[in-house]
Amino acid sequence: MDEKQIISQMKSQGIDLVCSIPCDKAKGLFFSLPEEFRHIGLTREEDGVGISAGAYLAGARPLVALQSSGLGNMLNAILSLTVTFGIPLPILASWRGGEKESILAQVPFNRSLPRILSAAGIPCTIVSGPDKPDEIGDAITASYRSRQPHVVLVPPECLEESGCPATALPPAPALRTLSICYERKWRIPVMRRYDAIRQIASLVNDEILVSNIGVPSKELFAARDRPENFYMLGSYTQASAIGLGIAVALPKRRVIVLDGDGSLLGSSVLTVIAASAPKNLTIVGLDNGVFGSTGNQPRPGTKTADLALMALGAGFAVSRAVHEPGELAEAIRASAGNGPSFIHTRILPGNADVPNIPIAPSQIRDRLMTALRARK
Ligand SMILES: Cc1ncc(C[n+]2csc(CCOP(=O)(O)OP(=O)(O)O)c2C)c(N)n1
């Protein structure tokens, strides 16, 4: 089969958003995907799980395409987000590590992959021959019907590789002049995370809020529970990816992500967000200098890393640091429709004494989807 047949299977299944990282053994496919679909290029496969989850919640029909080794970078996110919330995720993987594999490093993970997926309870289809592109379509159907992930492994011998199309030569290096006006004046924080979250929760109307793993989600629930909140219950580093997926799928709705400093520093998604440039997305980086939800252990770079500057470096249109509740409110207002914007919110460590969220993941999913469908 060639990439045209694969793409035709994806289209016949209604796929309308593809996140991908390329594989050398399927060059033609990875060149074609951005031309054929709304496309988000990734730098780390895990982010495709969060982006796809957000996009699905917002009514899109996403798929992730990658090299099979990338599944090793996604497993926790697939199980803690996709499986926990009951979200479809078809994953199309160029399967490496087979008999003719020339790169030794591809063998240990990829040869064990079907057993790893089986042990994790993740359904997997191994395409059985070059004349079986319909198995890809069937796997996509199965994923959307069951609201579960489904991996399709495409062995190289099933792919008729067309290589790089002439139209897809790498872009020529361009001259670029960059002028960043940046002044860093960190003051002593006065808010705790709960103060900042209450402030933001009091300002929103029909905005969608995505909250980070652990205590931040519990604090948002305690501050103001509403169907437009998505509480991320696991999946460290995926909050901003989920926000990006929702923002891209629903460009007319405003999305605000309440992310954490540890999570943002552990993620590669800022560059991907800036490249996608959703005007309706604001990332609030709640920077308490610690891994708050695990007991306030200091995170690396407390005195050296600068989140607001990192967002600018990643290509954000707007990035600023705030310390006071009034400044935070003003930054939230000013960033509406002006994104992607980053609000580096410097806060004191400390977790509010709030209860666990008593709503089932499927209920969090369903009420958000209903609210989003009602007001596109
Ligand atoms: C893959 C993975 N690694 C580690 C954890 C444990 N963990 C849960 S929350 C968290 C820290 C989050 O810190 P940050 O993003 O700074 O947010 P804060 O809680 O400080 O607001 C960690 C390390 C996890 N749940 N999953």
How far is the centre of ligand 1, averaged over its atoms, from the C-alpha of 240 (Å)? 14
pLDDT > 90? residue 178: no
For residue 110, being part of any structural domain is answered with yes
Q: List the Cα angle 211/217/218 in 5-degree steps.
A: 165
Which of 44, 261, 294, 351, when mutated, tests ligand 1's pocket best, judged by the most ligand atoms within 8 Å of its CB? 294
Instruction: Report the C-alpha gap between 326 and 156 in whole angstroms.
Output: 57
Q: Give the Å distances, CA to CA, from 33 to 37, 39, 300.
A: 6, 7, 37
For residue 281, being part of any structural domain is answered with yes
Q: What is the CATH number of the domain that holds 72?
A: 3.40.50.970
Q: How many domains does the chain have?
A: 2
For residue 160, being part of any structural domain is answered with yes
- The model's pLDDT over 130-157, given as tens digits with 9 standing for 90+, comes to 999 999 999 999 999 999 999 999 999 9
- Is the distance from the beta carbon of residue 292 to the nearest atom of ligand 1 less than 6 Å? yes
Instruction: Report the C-alpha gap between 313 and 335 in whole angstroms.
Output: 18
How far is the centre of ligand 1, averaged over its atoms, from the C-alpha of 188 (Å)? 23
The backbone region for 373, taken as left when phi is positive above 0, alpha when psi lies in -120 to 50, beta otherwise, is: alpha
28 plus 132 within the same structural domain: yes
Q: How many residues are recorded in the chain?
A: 376
- The model's pLDDT over 63-81, given as tens digits with 9 standing for 90+, comes to 999 999 999 999 999 999 9
**Beta bridge partners of residue 229, listed in sequence order:** 209
Report helix angle 361-374 to 45-57, nearest 10. 60
Q: Where are the alpha helices (DSSP H) in the chain?
A: 3-12, 27-36, 45-57, 75-77, 84-85, 107-120, 134-146, 193-203, 215-223, 239-249, 261-265, 269-276, 307-314, 325-334, 361-374
How far is the centre of ligand 1, averaged over its atoms, from the C-alpha of 212 (Å)? 9
Give me 214's structure tokens. 């652990």
Place of tokens 């089932």: 360
219 plus 159 within the same structural domain: no
pLDDT > 90? residue 254: yes
- The model's pLDDT over 337-355, given as tens digits with 9 standing for 90+, comes to 998 999 999 999 999 999 9
- Is the distance from the beta carbon of residue 62 to the nearest atom of ligand 1 less than 6 Å? no
- Which phi and psi angles does 345 have, rounded to 5°? -105, 105
Which of 49, 75, 236, when mutated, tests ligand 1's pocket best, judged by the most ligand atoms within 8 Å of its CB? 236
Q: On the CB side of 286, how many CA atoms lie within 13 Å of its CA?
A: 34
**Confidence at 194, pLDDT banded by 50, 70, 90:** very high
For residue 177, being part of any structural domain is answered with no
Q: If 0-12 CB within 10 Å is exposed, 13-18 middle and 19+ buried, where does residue 65 land?
A: buried
- Is the distance from the beta carbon of residue 263 to the nearest atom of ligand 1 less than 6 Å? yes
137 plus 264 within the same structural domain: no
**Shortest-distance atom of ligand 1 to CA 264:** 15
62-67/124-126 β-pairing: unpaired
How far is the centre of ligand 1, averaged over its atoms, from the C-alpha of 32 (Å)? 37
Place of tokens 């509406």: 336
258 plus 304 within the same structural domain: yes
161 plus 198 within the same structural domain: no
Instruction: Report the C-alpha gap between 80 and 157 in whole angstroms.
Output: 33
The SS3 assignment for 125 reads: strand
**Per-residue confidence (pLDDT) for residue 295, from 0 to 100:** 97
Domain encompassing residue 144 = 3-166
For residue 67, being part of any structural domain is answered with yes
For residue 172, being part of any structural domain is answered with no
For residue 356, being part of any structural domain is answered with yes
